[in-house]
Amino acid sequence: MVKRILRSVFLVDLFEGLWVTFRSQHPKNIYTEQYPAQRPQVAERYRGAPRLNINPDNGETLCIGCNLCALACPENLIVVGTERDEKTKRKVLTTFTYDTSRCMFCGLCEDACPVDALELTQDFELASYTREGAIWDRQMLEEGPRPTSYKF
Amino acid sequence: MADPTFLDATELVLNMGPQHPSTHGVLRVILKLDGEKVMGADCVIGYLHRGVEKIGENRTYQMFAPYVDRMDYVAAVSNGLGYCLAVEKLLSVEAPPRAQVVRVILTELNRIASHLIWLGTHALDVGALTPVFYTFREREEILNIFEAYCGARLTTHAFRIGGLQYELYDGFEERVKAFCDMFEKRVDDYEALLTGNRIWINRLRKVGILNAEDCKAYGVTGPLLRASGVKWDLRKAQPYSGYENFDFEIPTGIQGDSYDRYVVRMAEMRQSVRIIRQAVANIPAGPIMAKVPKVIKPPVGEVYVSIEAPKGELGYFIVSDGSTQPYRVRVRPPSFVNLQALDKMARGGLVADIVVIIGTIDIVLGEVDR
Amino acid sequence: MPEEPQVPPKPAHAAKPAAKAPAVMAVTAWEEELPATLKEKFGDRILECSLYLGQKFVVARPDAVAPIIEFLKHEAGFDYLVDVTALDYPSRAERFEIVYVLYSFSRNERIRIKTSVPDGFRPATVVPVHPTANWLEREVFDMFGIEFAGHPNMRRILLPDEWEGHPLRKEHSIIRQDDRWVKANLGIESGQ
């Protein structure tokens, strides 16, 4: 009973809370990331910017033009253009359009691709100044976005 | 003779507009006040209505799964779990045991994440500016675990119909165990900050009382129902995804006021850590995906499956007409039904209590409006 | 004038096969005490009591639904109305199917009550029995256009009050918005 009165007169419950706050003032508890000097480390499986992979041996695209990614997309924003090569009688990729402004980054296209040509990479800096800049063509998909890097 | 310039109105209509820092989203509450006492609170919702149910009728079953995450965007993993369980019931398949245990781990982590946002923003609205930083720091750890597993922090799309898409990455168990150890100490910190604090108790005690009969009458579920004394949790009453194999308690309150809801949610966070520890201790080996056809065409029929989401009972009523697209997807959102009880809880209180009550109902407008 | 070449008659097996009957739900009969009590009390207003995938449902005539729900609450312990929703089958004469999902805490059981109503029919509201139906029925009205007779506040809930059109009806396209409302209230040509 006396303890309760003392606790309430001397504001013990408020000081307990203040002690928690003061404990976190220690410099080892600093949590802020200094972006853009330090870019955050995203995970390996992060679903970021799409990329069309290129075969490292001969520099050709890995995409076979099967259109499975376009069929899997919930928003129907992939358009794959192919033409038939007369010599090998196979489909050759001509154009590949991907609309990042409507993309949900759900990963269904990456899961559908049978040859691992379309991949969602760890790039997350996709901003552009215009609406049209968000619609990526084949060249942009193969090179990837080039965000400005800062040196401080 | 009465002075014609004297306004004899006793009731003031005040608009707590869609842009308000304490309404947790775009919620408009039209308050009828008598001085500072609240006579009625009428909610106007629909500012975030995106037509998810109409979208469901125009996408295939696998394509609709990413849209479901966007409803309760704070706890996206449970939305995905409910949808996958409903479609799996329609197809009469069950996910393999390894997938079920991993689903339990991710869903309980997601419950902790949702309660952390609730705690941080509720304390912030009431005026305690510190807990929000700590809860968001813990939430960062959980979101990093999600990101390492499925590639996205918030709109996870973690589960697929029939099981899981991704195998666990190396170090998953260690990371989750380290999180559990760290988190229990942090919950003690939050309790030190708030539970015994006289300001917190004065703001929350006897505010927004909803007794058990009213809860059942208004269809209120989740921590609000448990705080009114009804010991009911869908994970125990109608277990799904292997919850019957885990040992945990259901915390309940006594009076059904805001302080009891706070205590219930803090205890739920501790119980979630308990479940995660049990699940991570032995994850069975085996396949992660059941035998589900590439093109999902369930037989004609309908099913209603509900799970215990962090906010209440989240139900999916899916009607199939035999084709690749559902005929109707109805989502029974817990926040929508719980928000109805705002009027009942707010009457007789003061204006400052409205903020506390909206905080303790724990609504997410993405789920209220869909 | 050249003669029209004789077209040989098509062989019998090339004729179009008879159209298959549309598939129906493969239900099993529900034989228990509760459906027997319901059939005894409500007679031929109960059309069907069945199970599908272990989930119980009752199909009833539209005028019997509110009394059934009241009976279930007071006599059978189904004290929690989980959900009220509707479906649209435009090819049927009674195009809307209203579904009520009820749960009983004491029995730990869920039951669905379904009824089919034509366009323009105003079913009775269940708000006096379960206050939670207030917003749920408002949403059914907003999305489908089914008005509930006796509802205390029958207005739109998710869409603006002056909006025209009921989006979850099958003939309403997913792209279409009420451009008249958008132009008048938002000052832009179209929301698309």
Indicate whether B116 pLDDT > 90.
Answer: yes
Indicate whether B310 pLDDT > 90.
Answer: yes
B40 backbone dihedrals φ, ψ, rounded to 5° = -170, 150
Picking from B137, B149, B152, the nearest residue to A105 by CB comes out as: B152
Indicate whether B84 pLDDT > 90.
Answer: yes
Taking residue C107's Cβ as centre, other Cβ atoms within 10 Å add up to 12
Q: Is C59 on the interface with B (CB under 8 A)?
A: no
Note whether B328 contacts C87, CB cutoff 8 Å. yes
Computed on alpha carbons and rounded to an integer, the radius of gyration of chain C in Å comes to 23
Chain A closest-CA separation from residue B236 CA (Å): 32
Can you read off the two tokens belonging to residue C178?
């009420």
Kindly state whether residue A113 falls inside one of the protein's structural domains: yes
Note whether B144 contacts A43, CB cutoff 8 Å. yes
Chain B closest-CA separation from residue C13 CA (Å): 28
Residue B292 amino acid letter? V
pLDDT tens by residue, B173-214: 999 999 999 999 889 888 888 888 888 999 999 888 888 888
pLDDT band at C7 (very low <50, low <70, confident <90, very high): very low
Kindly state whether residue A24 falls inside one of the protein's structural domains: no
- Max CA distance (Å), chain C: 88
pLDDT band at B111 (very low <50, low <70, confident <90, very high): very high
Range of the domain at A124: 50-143
For residue B164, the chain A residues in CB contact (below 8 A) are none
Return the pLDDT at C190.
Answer: 75
Indicate whether A36 pLDDT > 80.
Answer: no
**β-strands A118-120, A50-52: how paired?**
antiparallel
Return the pLDDT at B3.
Answer: 60
Kindly state whether residue A90 falls inside one of the protein's structural domains: yes
pLDDT band at B139 (very low <50, low <70, confident <90, very high): very high
Indicate whether C21 pLDDT > 70.
Answer: no
Indicate whether B357 pLDDT > 80.
Answer: yes
Taking residue B285's Cβ as centre, other Cβ atoms within 10 Å add up to 7
Q: Is B199 on the interface with A (CB under 8 A)?
A: yes
Note whether B66 contacts A74, CB cutoff 8 Å. yes
Say what percent of chain C tops pLDDT 90.
23
Q: What share of chain C is helix, strand, coil (3-state, %, to 5)?
A: 25, 25, 50
Return the pLDDT at A122.
Answer: 87
Contact B61, B125 (CB under 8 A): no
At least 3 CB pairs under 8 A between chains A and C: no
For residue C88, the chain B residues in CB contact (below 8 A) are 328
Q: To 10 degrees, what angle do helices B172-194 and B131-150 make?
A: 170
pLDDT tens by residue, C116-172: 999 888 999 999 999 999 999 999 999 999 999 889 888 899 988 888 888 888 888
Contact C60, C50 (CB under 8 A): no
The domain total for chain A is 1
Contact B106, B149 (CB under 8 A): yes
Return the pLDDT at A152.
Answer: 66
Question: d(Cα C108, Cα B339) in Å, to the nearest integer?
Answer: 24
Q: Which residue has the higher pLDDT, A105 or C6?
A: A105
Contact B367, B71 (CB under 8 A): yes
For residue B219, the chain C residues in CB contact (below 8 A) are 80-82, 130, 132
Find the mean pLDDT for residues B109-133: 91
Topology of domain C27-155, CATH:
Beta Polymerase; domain 2 (3.30.460)
Indicate whether C56 pLDDT > 70.
Answer: yes
Note whether C167 contacts B301, CB cutoff 8 Å. no
Note whether C85 contacts B330, CB cutoff 8 Å. yes
Indicate whether C1 pLDDT > 60.
Answer: no
Computed on alpha carbons and rounded to an integer, the radius of gyration of chain A in Å comes to 26
Q: To 10 degrees, what angle do helices B97-126 and B172-194 make?
A: 30
Interface probe for C, chosen from B59, B226, B234, B317 (most Cβ of C below 10 Å), is B317
Evaluate the CA torsion angle B282, B286, B288, B292 in order and state its sign: negative
Structural domains of chain B ordered from first start: 49-335+349-369 (1.10.645.10)
For the ranges A17-21, A30-34, C125-129, which has the lowest average pLDDT?
Answer: A30-34
Residue B165: closest C-alpha in chain A: A111
Report domain extents, chain C: 27-155, 159-192
For residue B369, the chain C residues in CB contact (below 8 A) are 158
Contact B20, B121 (CB under 8 A): no
Note whether A44 contacts B148, CB cutoff 8 Å. yes
Question: d(Cα B325, Cα A22) in Å, to the nearest integer?
Answer: 56
Residue A74: closest C-alpha in chain B: B63
Note whether C136 contacts B299, CB cutoff 8 Å. no
Can you read off the two tokens belonging to residue C55?
């989930």
Provide CB contacts within 8 A for B21, sequence distance 6+: B125
B126 backbone dihedrals φ, ψ, rounded to 5° = -70, -25
Return the pLDDT at C12.
Answer: 47
Return the pLDDT at C34.
Answer: 83
pLDDT tens by residue, A80-135: 888 887 787 778 888 888 888 888 898 898 888 998 888 888 888 888 888 888 88
Question: d(Cα B14, Cα B33) in Å, to the nearest integer?
Answer: 7
Q: If you count residue pairs, one on B and one on C, with CB atoms under 8 Å apart, how many are there? A: 95
Q: To 10 degrees, what angle do helices B131-150 and B97-126 make?
A: 160
Provide CB contacts within 8 A for A81, sequence distance 6+: A93, A94, A95, A96, A97
Supply the CATH number for residue A96's domain.
Answer: 3.30.70.3270
Subunits next to C (3 or more Cβ pairs <8 Å) are B
Bridge partners, residue B308, by sequence: B313
Return the pLDDT at C4.
Answer: 44
Chain A closest-CA separation from residue B22 CA (Å): 23
For residue A43, the chain B residues in CB contact (below 8 A) are 144, 147-148, 151
First to last CA, chain B: 55
Return the pLDDT at B5.
Answer: 59
Indicate whether C98 pLDDT > 90.
Answer: yes
Location of structure tokens 């842009």? B19
